[in-house]
Amino acid sequence: MWKYIVKRLLLMIPILLGVTFIVFFIMNLTPGDPAAIILGDQASAEALAAKRIELGLDKPLIVRYFTYIWDMLHGDLGLSYKNQLSVWDQVIDKFPNTAILAIAGILVALVIGIPVGIISAKKQYTVLDNTSMILSLVGVSMPNFWLGLLLSLLFALKLGWLPSQGMGTGFVALLRSLILPALTLGTGSAATVVRMTRSSMLEVIRQDYISTARAKGISEKQVTKRHMLKNAMIPIVTAVGLQFGQLLGGAMLTETVFSWPGLGRLMVDSINSKDIPMVMGATIFLAIMFSLVNLIVDLVYSFIDPRIRSQYSKAGFKSRRIKV
Amino acid sequence: MSLAAQKRSLWAETWRRFRKNKLAVVGMCIIIALFVIAITTIVIDLVTDKAFYNDHVIKQNLRLRLQGPSKDHIFGLDEFGRDIFLRMLWAVRYSLFMGVFAILFSVIIGSIFGAIAGYYGKVTDNVIMRFMDILLAIPSMLLATAIVAALGTSLVNVLIAIAISYVPTFARTVRASVLTVKDQEYIEAAKALGASDFRIIFKYILPNSMAPLIVQATLGVAGAILSIAGLSFLGLGIQPPTPEWGSMLSSARSYIRDGWHLTVIPGLGIMITILALNVMGDGLRDALDPRLKN
């Protein structure tokens, strides 16, 4: 088991290097001279040249990349063009807010998704099943920023029950301000989880061992919980893990709708002010978090499924990541 | 019987199964209707030399701003007094064609990479697929945003951004189906006859990947349209005053108190399009591979 975990961790290194290189490369395609962006239009040619050397822009891309990585490992993502503050500090400052939102979103997805999926599978082709399938289809097809606008239109403006902007301080205020963004972020994922849970349960539900369990006289509740759900769990965990990653990336939209002070909004603001180090730092940070979540999901598999555990000790690493 | 006749019957069979799924057929009709709308508005622009567009779609009429739906303007008027119904119609082309083009682009690039990786295997496969793994390790919306942030907001850049973020999905799909057919005897026969690798890949292998590719592409267009709308909503996509659903929602945000129709209608447009593509994609999947249906 430990061998497997170490192996997966080592395999992360080339992926992360690749991810950071791609983002670094893309960001370096930005037209315009960074020195001119920092110093403004009035700067003299000498000042610009000096600034370029200070930023290391005279060196080749690959050298700059490894310098960037080296600095990153030491908690330094450069300075923001806009306010000359440390990018790392700002990213670390905003990330917890995004994490809170993403975790709340995934909770919404789980709390709605798994029970509805189970009921849907157990009552296949009934009115209940059809309704939940139609609703989940609508949920998957709804742009989440639009759902956010609709929710704030109804619950904040018309009914006045909940705040629609910003993040509250203090536990109760935070919770109140979290409800609408979390619902916005989580609904699409909930719909995906419903569909995944349903189809995964349906695959299990007709297996012989379920009939055996029933024949042994185990209560239906126990059969569902211990015999069906446990076996249906793997694809559900995959779906949830992937959704969590998507939520980190998709938080940008929700954060913009609700003026949530997270990493996504920081990124959007930085794009608008052409603050490249900030955009790069935030993107790389989110991409690394996404990879880490994927890694954790892969490790969770091996805990919940003994078959995978034994397969790995024999066959080694196989990629199972699917894009949805 | 020739091979061509057999192939036709496969598609006829698929169509027969697809037709039975009422929801999927409705989805397909909606998509066809949207194409008709998009093409009609383009023809109107060409014929009137954009006069109609300038007078009715982007011309402001502040006196009537934010008016709700009425007999003259069934979807009401926006914050600049423009008819929302017309703007919705003129916006169809951006979402639909950009979504389709972006996915077409990534299908082509992805298939080439996937086919090469699957066909040649070994080091080639490893290099290509590890690169795809890396691209997949960045959430697609984040990747697209980063690309647009670097290259600047233009129609073409948004298209490139979305296309790149979907390449790995198609590369994987094609690679998987190449692997299932490449050891079949008819490939061996083609090799024995002296067919070039190029011919084998494009003539004998890729056609076998069509079914999963078509399904993935349909669902991909839905995803791409959502991403385009999302980017426009963030102000990184299509810029005002050009009508686009995402950017209409973005400007509606400031007037959310003044008129519900500004917020509700553009989102409905996006949702119906995505919904139609999703049910059509699901229907296609069931029709192309009935074994998958539970």
Q: Is some CB atom of chain A closer than 8 A to the CB atom of B145?
A: yes
Which residues numbered 225-284 in B keep a CB inside 8 Å of some CB on A?
226, 229-230, 233-236, 246, 249, 252-253, 256-257, 260, 263-264, 266-267, 270-271, 274-275, 278-279
Q: Taking 60 as the threshold, does the pLDDT of residue A322 lie above it?
A: no
Are the beta carbons of B137 and A149 separated by less than 8 Å? no
Q: Which among B154, B116, B152 is positioned nearest to B132, based on CA atoms?
A: B116
Report for A31-35, A170-174, B98-102: range of highest mean pLDDT: B98-102
pLDDT at A317: 46
Q: What is the pLDDT of residue B290?
A: 62
pTM, to two decimals: 0.86
Output the pLDDT for position A180: 93
Per-residue pLDDT tens over the stretch A127-179 = 999 999 999 999 989 998 999 999 998 998 888 888 888 888 888 888 899 99
Cis amide leading into B240 (omega within 30): no
Distance (Å) from the alpha carbon of A15 to chain B's nearest alpha carbon: 6
Rounded to whole angstroms, how far apart are CA atoms A275 and B236? 15
Residues of chain A contacting B235 with CB distance shorter than 8 Å: 268, 272
Lowest mean pLDDT across A125-129, A145-149, B10-14, B82-86: B10-14
Contact A252, B140 (CB under 8 A): no
Mean pLDDT calculated for residue range B25-50: 92
B130 shares contact with chain A (CB less than 8 Å): yes
Instruction: Render A152-184 in DSSP notation, one character per residue.
Output: IIIIIIIS--S--SS--SSHHHHHHHHHHHHHH
Contacts (Cβ under 8 Å, ≥6 apart) of A182: A101, A104, A105, A107, A108
Please tell me the least confidently modeled range out of A154-158, A304-308, B21-25, B75-79.
A304-308
**Three-class SS state of B248:** helix
ipTM (interface predicted TM): 0.84
pLDDT at A167: 83
Predicted pLDDT at A304: 74
- For residue A149, the chain B residues in CB contact (below 8 A) are 249, 252-253, 256, 263, 267
- In the prediction, which pLDDT does A310 show? 66
Structural domains in chain A plus CATH codes: 34-76 (no CATH), 87-321 (1.10.3720.10)
Residues of chain A positioned with their CB less than 8 A from the CB of B156 = none
**pLDDT score recorded for residue A49:** 83
pLDDT in tens, B241-283: 888 999 899 888 888 888 788 889 999 999 999 999 999 988 8
The residue among B291 and B42 whose pLDDT is bigger is: B42
pLDDT tens-digit readout, A97-134: 999 999 999 999 999 999 999 999 988 888 999 999 99
Q: How far is A189 from chain B (nearest CA, A)?
A: 14
CATH architecture assignment, domain B13-57+70-288 = Orthogonal Bundle (1.10)
Q: For B219-244, what is the mean pLDDT?
A: 89
Query: What does the pLDDT look like over B185-227, one tens digit per residue?
Result: 888 898 899 888 888 888 888 887 788 888 889 989 999 999 9
Exposure string of B220-233, with b = 16+ CB inside 10 Å and e = fewer, is: bbbbbbbbbbbbbb
- Residue A324 confidence class, pLDDT cut points 50, 70, 90: very low
The average pLDDT across A5-27 equals 87
Q: Which two tokens stand for residue A53?
A: 């050397």
